[in-house]
Amino acid sequence: MRTKFLILILLFFVAFTCDIAFGSVNLSFKDIWSSLTGNGGDDLYREIIINYRLPKALTAILTGAALSVAGVLMQTLFRNPLAGPDVLGVTSGASLGVALLTLGASSLPWFVIAGWGQVTAAVLGAIGVLLLIIIVSVKVPQTVSLLIIGMMFGNFAGAIVSILQSTSNPDTLKLFISWTFGSLSAVSWDYMAIMAPIIIVGTLLAFIMQKKLNVLLLGEKYATGLGVSVSRTRLWIILATALLAGTSTAFTGPIAFIGVTIPHIARGIFHTSDHKMIIPASILCGSGIMLVCDLISQMPGSQGTLPINSVTALFGAPIIIWIIAKNGGMGK
């Protein structure tokens, strides 16, 4: 186990370094080291690294970790291998919150819409959808039906967003559409000061709940028999997932498949469902894969870029198909 963690950490640092080094302008490792340590170097390269590529790489790490941990929490809560913040409509709820603030209240001052206002709207939207899913899950125990209902919540939120788009002015509409493509480069150091603490708090909540999450895997009746308050644990899971998925969606836009696929990769590597192993493994895997996806989206050596959402979808869709095939279909 320790060797696997060391390998993941090594691969993570390799991906982090490559994500900073390669892009429209390829930089040497010497340039990176000089810029990060402040020991001379080209001023232009230092500007590129410090104010663009480094915050973008850190955003990829935070987003990958947040969505991966949120996926672990959702799959444990619903005991469903295809559950995730995007599949169950949580990401759509966060998008709706941002759309209501950006498109529905475009006359508000910029400082209200940006920063904390955007994060609050996304988190409230994510909490709203999650609460609806929790209420429905009490009445509908079938996992397939619950996934379908989650998708319907997502479609409902998407319909409201479409209405807002059709009635908004072109300037705010263009901003929102650009946001829906997903981007890791929009987070400056000022936004990082808002994004990072919230994601860290959500991740710490997941670590605190490790033992209770392990008990939930055995079933709600067994968990209750062991003295675990299932209803209270659900609320903490809702809060942590809303903080993680809502915050990452607010700053980077909706990024698909990471929350669903990464927990399965972590379980496949360590062959366990123990959250003491799966949560840190998911953080490493999610962060590393987001760095790789960001590197691919930058198309090193060219001036163009790809939407990060498209790159993660190309990565995640085959894994979803493999999960379904491995489980013998959706009915199991």
CA-to-CA dists, residue 277 to 21, 112, 240, 272, angstroms: 31, 40, 18, 8
**Encoded tokens for 47:** 């500007």
Residue 199: CB atoms within 10 A of its CB come to 23
Q: Tell me the mean pLDDT in the region 322-329.
A: 68
- Distances, alpha carbon 316 to alpha carbons 86, 89, 257, 289, in Å: 12, 17, 5, 11
The more confidently predicted of residues 240 and 121 is: 240
Tokens of 145: 């039906």
CA atoms of 275 and 281, how far apart (whole Å) = 9
For residue 311, how far is the Cα from the chain centroid? 14
The pLDDT of 80-93, averaged and rounded, is 79
Which of 67-71, 142-146, 148-152 has the lowest average pLDDT? 142-146
Average pLDDT of span 132-145: 72
Closest by CA to 316, choosing from 290, 280, 298, is: 290
pLDDT given for residue 234 in this prediction: 83
Average pLDDT of span 67-75: 93
For 193, the token pair is: 């000061």
Amino acid at 143: T
More confident position, 154 or 196? 196
Confidence at residue 16, expressed as pLDDT on a 0 to 100 scale: 94
Q: Which residue has the higher pLDDT, 175 or 8?
A: 8
Mean per-residue pLDDT, 134-146: 71
Residues 16-67: tens digit of each pLDDT: 999 998 888 888 888 888 877 777 667 788 888 888 999 999 999 999 999 9
Residue 114 has pLDDT above 70, yes or no: no
Mean pLDDT, range 70-90, rounded to an integer: 83
Give the residue among 175, 128, 118, 174 at the shortest CA–CA distance from 154. Answer: 128
Instruction: Give the per-residue pLDDT at 331.
Output: 44
Q: What integer pLDDT is reported at residue 199 of this predicted model?
A: 94
Residues 156-174 pLDDT 10s: 888 998 898 888 877 778 7
Give the tokens for residue 70. 């949120």
CB neighbour burial string for 2-40, b if at least 16 within 10 angstroms, e if fewer? eeeeeebeebbeebbebbbbbbeeebeeebbebbeeeee
The pLDDT tens digits of the residues spanning 252-306 come to 888 888 998 999 999 988 989 999 999 999 999 999 999 999 999 988 777 778 8
- The pLDDT mean for the chain works out to 84
pLDDT band at residue 238, thresholds of 50, 70 and 90?
confident
Residue 207: pLDDT over 70:
yes
Q: In the 8-state DSSP scheme, what is residue 272?
A: -
- Positive or negative: CA dihedral 202, 208, 214, 215: negative
H helix or E strand, kind and range, residue 127:
helix 116-139
CATH architecture of 2-78+85-326: Orthogonal Bundle (1.10)
Contacts of 321 (CB under 8 A, 6+ apart): none
Percent of the chain with pLDDT over 90: 28
Pick the more confident residue, 66 or 119.
66
pLDDT score of 330: 47
Q: What is the pLDDT of residue 291?
A: 95
